[in-house]
């Protein structure tokens, strides 16, 4: 009996130990599954490797800015879209999406550059989201301190692609201080025309094939559309004219005239007079690398300078022609090669080519700007337009200085005036009546003013400007809309052009966005916000 009991107890003890061990094993197994499952889910999500904002690490306040995001897929294929978010000029979060026609496809482990476009202000930074359907799979926040320095909205912008020409020194005169951006090639060039908004001119050098690396059909189409809508480009084609001006080449679509040949020795007198140079250009005669000249025939446009002077100059060297609402300037030599790189008059030549007739009329334009008439407290047309559109017939808006004046009067009335008057009348105990009476009176005044001046309906002021190019039959329209809402709510705003003739969808495009006010006044784009200053100090 005792032996049986001992055996049974030993057996039950072993079973109990095995059960406890099994429990610990199951618990550990479940924990491992949870950890492995969590790491697997984390690995499956795509990740952001690199971020590039702006052109040449520069972006301008209130203008469309390209944002390039380098994404690597996880252990699953990514099929979704990119979404960017940043604050507008009023500090409200604005979400930008729809950068691709269909979903973005990235295979397992592969890397891909995604491009989106936003408008920056001094309010906050940038939020990036990768979505699959409506589900956010990856999200990253970049504070203002991690983004490039913002160029003020009123600055003139010029982009130099290829060789690093000193265009900054050439264009800087007195108050004129343009922002010049250098891109070594077309790798980071926008694939949408509005990615070049705010850029006045692009200068391209072509002497080295690497300068044109990254130029694709989508990027060249964006460049073409930007030109047709009012952009300017300077193209320097000298030694590589035979290659770049073939019928199937991109640049042949912009340059007018037919290619003839490349000239090794050309006359320099025309450019010397054009630049107002005191030192002559000396071409190399010992076989060293030097600028060669591309000779064209049947040139359309205005030839500003020939290779010689008078009857000696027969071949065009600088040709300026209209291209839609923009213009193309063809330069028949490479300005980044000798003898131009060491020529003392290179800066004057670059300025003359870049500005054209504006350089000759710079004195008159400065006088015209000095005599400009200001309206609604603004000196620029954009600010005047915004202020004029903010005037609604039959609506009286509460002015900021009204509020300040009433607030100052209220503080003075309940403080020193109340004390001095009651002390003069020897009735200081009356303050138990006068103080709440003043508070109640001003509260009623605020309610009455709010009810009287508040609009009861939505008001819309709109201005349309339409440009028509007779030569190309191209139409360009711009609409400014100012909306006054009686309450805070969300609206679905759409702009639908109504052309006279029936057009296909690919012939009609519309871009809608917010507009900020330039300048350093209260609410202006060039005025840093308090939150932006705090973020910079923290960074």
Q: Report the candidate in 139, 176, 173, 142 with the shortest Cα–Cα distance to residue 59.
A: 142
- Mean pLDDT of the 20-35 span: 48
CA neighbours closer than 13 Å in the CB half-sphere of residue 35: 6
Which of 182-186, 254-258, 397-401, 523-527 is predicted with the least confidence, judged by mean pLDDT? 523-527
What's the per-residue H, E or C state across 113-128?
Answer: EEEEEEECCCCCCEEE
Please give the helix or strand (H or E) that residue 223 lies within, else none: helix 217-228
Residue 376, domain member (yes or no): no
- Mean pLDDT of the 443-453 span: 79
Q: Does the pLDDT of residue 317 top 90, yes or no?
A: yes
Residue 377, domain member (yes or no): no
Q: Are residues 322 and 436 in the same domain?
A: no
Beta strands in 21-161 (DSSP E): 47-53, 59-60, 64-72, 78-87, 93-96, 104-106, 111-119, 126-132, 135-142, 150-151, 157-161
Q: Are residues 90 and 178 in the same domain?
A: no
Q: Does the pLDDT of residue 535 top 50, yes or no?
A: no
Beta bridge partners of 138: 130
Residue 379, domain member (yes or no): no
Q: What's the domain range around 225?
A: 161-363
* Torsion sign (Cα): 403, 409, 413, 415: positive
Q: Which of 363, 384, 412 is the last residue of a domain?
A: 363
d(CA 231, CA 223): 9
Tell me if 182 sits within 8 A of 164, measured CB to CB. Answer: yes
Beta bridge partners of 262: 294
Residue 223, domain member (yes or no): yes
Q: Which of 363, 389, 422 is the last residue of a domain?
A: 363
Pairing of strands 199-205, 157-161: parallel
Percent of the chain with pLDDT over 70: 80
Tell me if 123 sits within 8 A of 169, measured CB to CB. Answer: no
Q: Report the candidate in 479, 514, 537, 534 with the shortest Cα–Cα distance to residue 121.
A: 514
At 516 the pLDDT is 81
Q: Does the pLDDT of residue 432 top 50, yes or no?
A: yes
**Could you tell me how many residues make up the chain?**
539
Q: Are residues 311 and 172 in the same domain?
A: yes
At 373 the pLDDT is 37
| pTM to 2 decimal places | 0.79
Q: Does the pLDDT of residue 538 top 50, yes or no?
A: no
At 139 the pLDDT is 95
At 537 the pLDDT is 30
Please give the helix or strand (H or E) that residue 460 lies within, else none: strand 459-469
At 90 the pLDDT is 83
Say how many domains are in the chain.
5
| Per-residue model confidence as pLDDT tens digits over 78-134 | 999 999 999 998 888 999 999 988 899 999 999 999 999 999 988 889 999 999 999
Residue 373, domain member (yes or no): no
Q: Are residues 165 and 292 in the same domain?
A: yes
What region, left, alpha or beta, does residue 318 occupy, with left being phi > 0 and alpha being psi -120 to 50 degrees? beta
Residue 442, domain member (yes or no): yes
Residue 523, domain member (yes or no): yes
Cβ neighbours of residue 25 under 8 Å, at least 6 residues apart?
none
Q: Are residues 174 and 193 in the same domain?
A: yes
Which of 97-106, 338-347, 516-525 is predicted with the least confidence, judged by mean pLDDT? 516-525
Q: Are residues 259 and 168 in the same domain?
A: yes
| Per-residue model confidence as pLDDT tens digits over 258-289 | 999 999 889 999 999 999 999 999 887 665 66
Q: Are residues 231 and 342 in the same domain?
A: yes
At 499 the pLDDT is 67
Q: Are residues 446 and 340 in the same domain?
A: no
Q: How far is CA 252 from CA 242, 246, 258, in A?
A: 11, 6, 9
Residue 219, domain member (yes or no): yes
CA angle in degrees (0–180, nearest 5) for 72-217-247: 150
> What is the average pLDDT score of the chain?
82
d(CA 539, CA 534): 9
Q: Report the candidate in 103, 63, 64 with the shortest Cα–Cα distance to residue 83.
A: 103
Q: Are residues 28 and 143 in the same domain?
A: no
Q: Which DSSP string corresponds to 145-212?
A: GGSPPEEPTTS-EEEEESS---HHHHH-BTTB--EEEEESSSTT--SSGGGGTTEEEEEEE-SSGGGG
Which of 56-70, 172-186, 332-346, 498-512 is predicted with the least confidence, judged by mean pLDDT? 498-512
């Amino acid at each position: 009996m005792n032996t049986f009991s001992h055996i049974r107890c030993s057996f039950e003890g072993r079973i109990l130990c095995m059960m406890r061990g099994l429990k610990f094993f199951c618990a550990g197994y479940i924990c491992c599954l949870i950890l492995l499952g969590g790491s697997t889910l984390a690995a499956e999500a795509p990740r952001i490797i690199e971020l590039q904002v702006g052109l040449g690490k520069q972006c301008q306040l209130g203008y469309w800015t390209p944002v390039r995001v380098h994404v690597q897929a996880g252990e699953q294929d990514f099929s979704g879209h990119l979404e960017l978010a940043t604050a507008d000029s009023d500090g409200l979060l604005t979400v930008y999406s729809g950068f691709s026609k269909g979903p973005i496809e990235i295979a397992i482990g592969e890397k891909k550059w995604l491009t989106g476009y936003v408008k920056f202000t001094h309010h906050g930074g940038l939020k990036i989201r990768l979505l699959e359907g409506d589900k956010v799979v990856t999200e990253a926040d970049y504070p203002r301190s991690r983004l490039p320095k913002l160029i003020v909205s009123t600055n003139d912008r010029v982009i130099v692609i290829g060789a690093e020409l000193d265009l900054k020194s050439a264009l800087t005169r007195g108050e004129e201080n343009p922002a010049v951006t250098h891109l070594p090639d077309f790798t980071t060039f926008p694939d949408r025309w509005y990615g070049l908004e705010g850029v006045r001119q692009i200068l391209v050098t072509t002497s080295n094939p690497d300068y044109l690396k990254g130029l694709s059909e989508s990027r060249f189409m964006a460049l073409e559309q930007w030109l047709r809508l009012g952009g300017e480009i300077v193209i320097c084609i000298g030694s590589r004219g035979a290659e770049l001006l073939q019928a199937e080449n991109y640049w042949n679509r912009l340059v007018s005239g037919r290619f003839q040949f490349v000239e090794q020795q050309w006359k320099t007198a025309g450019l010397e007079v054009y630049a107002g140079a005191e030192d002559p250009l000396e071409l190399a005669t010992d076989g060293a690398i030097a600028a060669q000249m591309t000779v064209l025939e049947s040139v359309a446009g205005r030839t500003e300078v020939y290779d010689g002077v008078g009857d000696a100059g027969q071949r065009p060297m600088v040709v300026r022609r209209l291209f839609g609402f923009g213009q193309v300037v063809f330069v028949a030599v490479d300005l980044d090669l000798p003898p131009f790189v060491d020529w003392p008059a290179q800066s004057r030549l670059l300025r003359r080519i870049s500005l054209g007739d504006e350089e000759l009329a710079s004195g008159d334009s400065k006088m015209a700007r000095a005599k400009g008439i200001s309206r609604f407290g603004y000196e620029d047309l954009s600010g005047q337009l915004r202020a004029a559109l903010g005037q609604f017939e039959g609506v009286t808006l509460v002015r900021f200085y009204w509020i300040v004046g009433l607030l100052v009067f209220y503080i003075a009335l309940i403080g020193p005036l109340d004390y001095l008057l009651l002390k003069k009348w020897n009735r200081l105990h009356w303050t138990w009546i006068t103080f709440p009476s003043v508070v109640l009176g001003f509260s009623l005044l605020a309610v009455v003013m709010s009810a009287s001046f508040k609009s009861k309906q939505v008001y819309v002021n709109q201005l349309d400007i339409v440009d028509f190019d007779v030569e190309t039959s191209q139409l360009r329209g711009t609409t400014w809309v100012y909306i006054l809402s009686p309450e805070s709510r969300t609206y679905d705003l759409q702009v639908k052009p109504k052309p006279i003739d029936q057009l296909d969808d690919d012939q009609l495009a519309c871009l809608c966005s917010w507009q900020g006010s330039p300048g350093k006044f209260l609410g202006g784009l060039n005025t840093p916000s308090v939150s932006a200053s705090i973020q910079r100090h923290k960074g």
